[in-house]
Amino acid sequence: MRRVDSVVKTMIAQEVYRLTATIKKILESLQVTPGKKIDLRRDYDPGYTGNFMSKQDAEETTAAGIRLLAEQQDKLYAQNTYAVLIILQALDAAGKDSTIKHVMSGVNPMGVQVTSFKVPSAEELDHDYLWRSCVALPRRGNIAIFNRSWYEEVLVVRVHEEYLGRQQLPPLLNDRDIWSRRFREINNFERYLTDNGIIILKFFLNVSKEEQKRRFLERVEEPDKNWKFSAADIDERAFWDDYMDAYEEMFNTTSTSYAPWYIIPADHKWFTRLAVVSAIHDTLDRLRLAYPEVTPQQKEGLLAAKAKMEQENGDTDAGKKKDKNKSGKKS
C-alpha cells in the first residue's frame, strides 16, 4: 500500500513539474499586472495558444491539471480554512459553461457551488447590488464559481446605462461618478473577502468577434445546439466595441494584487481550459494546502476507537462461533 502511495506521489510530482515548467510563463503573460494600463484589443490575442500547437498537444497537461486540482480540492475541503471564489466573465459564446464543465470535472461536487447571475429580479433590485452575491459566497473549504458576477454592474449596466433606472438609486447617487465609485466599492469588497481567507480568481474569456459569429452560426445550424441560441445575443453583439471599452477600463481599475484578472484567450476552447485549470492550480499551490494534522490526544482517540472496533470484531467472531455451535447441536 505504501509503495502504491509513493508511486502515485511521484507521478503527481512529475505532473506538477510539467505544469509549472510549461505554464508559469504563459500565466504571467495572461495576468493583468496591477496598476498597469492595458489595451485589450492590442495586447491580448484571442487566438493565442502559447507553445501549444493543437488540442492533442495540450490534452495531457490539461488532464494532469484537472487531476491535481481534485487533489488540492480534497485538502482545501479537509482543511476548512480557505475558500475559493472563481469569477468568470465573458461575452456570449465565449465558453463559460463548457470551461466550468471541463475544469471542474474531477472535483468532488460536495465542495463546489456554481451560481449563474442573470438579469436581477425585482427583489434583487430592491437591494444594493452586492446583496445577491453575498448569499452565494463560498463557505470555508469550498469553491464557488460565479458565472457572471458583480462585474456586470460595470459592464452590461454601463453599456446600457438605462438599466440604472431600474435600480431605484437616490438621484444624487445616480451621477457621472457612479462607475468610479463602483470600481472602488468592488475593490474594497474584494479586499474584505481576501482578508477573510477567500481567495479570488477572475477570468475573462476573450473570444474574438469572428469566432463568436462562427459559434452563433453553429448554434443556428446544428439542431443539438439550437437550444443555446438566443436572438438577444445577436442584439448584444452590436455593442461589441462598447463592451471592449467597458472591459478594458474594468481591468485597468480592478486587477489588484489580492484579486488579479486573467485575460484568457478563448478562440480555442482546449487552450481556455488549459489556462484556467493551470491558473487555479497555481493559486492553490501557493496556499500550501495540507490535510489537518491530528494532535497527540486525537491520535490517542483514534487508537482507542480502533481497539474498540477490534474488540467488537472479536465479540462478533466469538458470537458467530457460539451460534454455529448452537446450530450444530440442534442438527
Which residues of the chain form contacts with Mg ion (CB under 5 A)? 92
- Closest distance of CB 233 from Mg ion, Å: 6
**Do 240 and 209 meet the contact criterion of CB atoms below 8 Å apart?**
yes
Tell me the closest approach of the beta carbon of residue 182 to ligand ATP, in angstroms: 11
All cell numbers assigned to 318: 466469538
Q: Which does 153 bind (CB under 5 to 8 A by kind): ligand ATP, Mg ion, none?
A: ligand ATP
In this structure, the number of other CB atoms found within 10 A of the CB of residue 70 comes to 14
Q: Are 128 and 68 in contact (CB under 8 A)?
A: no
Encoded amino acid at 284, one letter: L
| Residue 15 binding target from ligand ATP, Mg ion, none, CB below 5 to 8 Å by type | none
Letter string b/e over residues 101-139, b meaning 16 or more CB atoms within 10 A of that residue's CB? ebbbebbeeebbebbebeebeeebeeeebeebbeebbbe
Identify whether the C-beta of residue 279 lies closer than 8 Å to the C-beta of residue 71: no
* Amino acid identity at 103: V
Q: Which does 140 bind (CB under 5 to 8 A by kind): Mg ion, ligand ATP, none?
A: none
Strand partners, 143: 84, 112
User: Which span sits near ligand ATP by CB under 6 A: 13-21, 42-50, 58-66, 147-155?
Assistant: 147-155
> From residue 65 to residue 94, what is the string marking binding to ligand ATP with x (rule CB under 6 A)?
---------------------------x--
Q: 33 is in the binding site of which of Mg ion, ligand ATP, none (Cβ under 5 to 8 A by kind)?
A: none
Q: Which of 30, 83, 103, 157 binds ligand ATP (CB under 6 A)?
A: 157
Strands (E) in 207-252, as ranges, are none
Smallest distance, Å, CB 320 to ligand ATP? 59
Instruction: Tell me the three cell numbers of residue 48.
Output: 493565442
Binding of ligand ATP by 119 (CB under 6 A):
yes
Q: 48 or 151, CB closer to Mg ion?
A: 151
Give the binding site for ligand ATP (CB under 6 A): 92, 97, 116-120, 147-148, 152-153, 156-157, 163, 230
